[in-house]
Amino acid sequence: MKIGFIGLGNMGGPMAANLAKAGHDVAGFDLAAPMPEGVTRAGSAAEAASGTDVVITMLPNGAILRAVADQVIPAMKPGAVLCDCSTVDVDSARAVADQARAAGLDALDAPVSGGIGGAQAGTLTFMVGGSDDAFATVKPLFDIMGQKAVHCGASGAGQAAKICNNMILGVTMIATCEAFALADKLGLDRQKMFDVVSTSSGYSWSMNAYCPAPGVGPKSPADNGYKPGFAAELMLKDLRLSQQAAEAADADTPMGALAAALYARFVEHEDGKGQDFSAMLPRFEKRGKT
């Protein structure tokens, strides 16, 4: 397939490299990032999109996605698919999909889970919103970049799944960290805490797969000085998207709201910026009840 790839940062770079390695003809564009191996440099987003079957975007936020969509949609050939893999707000995902369809194209929102490791290894999970036809067209590419692609529904459904998943993740990570800090103060050994909770009803991905306590459970950013991994500021971005969506949809998400407020304090007023999102544990360790 002829593919345009726009946004070649930490995630997009290795995703585009995997497509090129699998034999696809990939033209890339990024304002700053280097070209991944096997990807041809285009002079602009429109040039990368021109004549392609699929354009994939992997960009920081919804405002940038809308600006890039304005550039690439007029350059794409009729019937081609614009597939956005960034994490953005549901409204931007739907607006860009509508704009693409009005121009005779098709569109998918296909945010990912799995982080930089998953992007490099080609083991991402894609959660996809859009038509059956567009999903079928892009599925072979999802299979190269990832291990699973779930077609969640119409445009916006992929972003909805992503922000709901990450709202659960933010809440469970905080709960796991505050429980470890409480256990410390109660004199409970951390390994014993892990052994019990990881096989009891308090278990979660945050505890079992990404344990925030160093030296306990599987290897995680906690064992690497809390270097991301998944940065606290990215978790804050996703929690804010969940709260924006909850506001628009009139959904009551009190735990999501608390998690967003706590990550905002951690990133913007404490020492959370640049740390992994599991560094909530040392944050709780340092603090008493106030």
The answer to whether the CB of 81 falls within 8 A of the CB of 137 is: yes
What separation in angstroms does the CA of 61 have from each of 74, 97, 180, 240, 266?
21, 15, 33, 12, 21
Asked if 6 touches ligand NAD (CB under 6 A), the answer is yes
Q: Is 74 helix (H, G, I), strand (E, B) or coil?
A: helix
Minimum distance of ligand NAD from residue 191's CB (angstroms): 28
Minimum distance of ligand NAD from residue 59's CB (angstroms): 5
Tell whether omega for the bond before 256 is within 30 degrees of 0, i.e. cis.
no
The answer to whether the CB of 93 falls within 8 A of the CB of 64 is: no
Q: For ligand NAD, which is the closer residue by CB, 26 or 183?
A: 26
Q: For ligand NAD, which is the closer residue by CB, 42 or 262?
A: 42
Nearest to 89 by CA among 258, 245, 283: 245
Residue of 32, 43, 187, 250 interacting with ligand NAD (CB under 6 A)? 32
Site for ligand NAD in 39-68 (CB under 6 A): 45, 58-60, 64, 67-68
Minimum distance of ligand NAD from residue 58's CB (angstroms): 5
Q: For ligand NAD, which is the closer residue by CB, 86 or 253?
A: 86
Nearest to 172 by CA among 130, 206, 217, 127: 206
Active-site amino acid positions: 162
Site for ligand NAD in 203-232 (CB under 6 A): 230
Residue of 19, 96, 112, 207 interacting with ligand NAD (CB under 6 A)? 112
Half-sphere exposure of 179 (CA within 13 A, CB side): 20
Q: How far apart are CA 153 and CA 114, in angstroms?
A: 21
Minimum distance of ligand NAD from residue 68's CB (angstroms): 5
Q: For ligand NAD, which is the closer residue by CB, 128 or 193?
A: 128
Q: How far apart are CA 124 and CA 144, in angstroms?
A: 9
Minimum distance of ligand NAD from residue 72's CB (angstroms): 10
Q: For ligand NAD, which is the closer residue by CB, 114 or 179?
A: 114
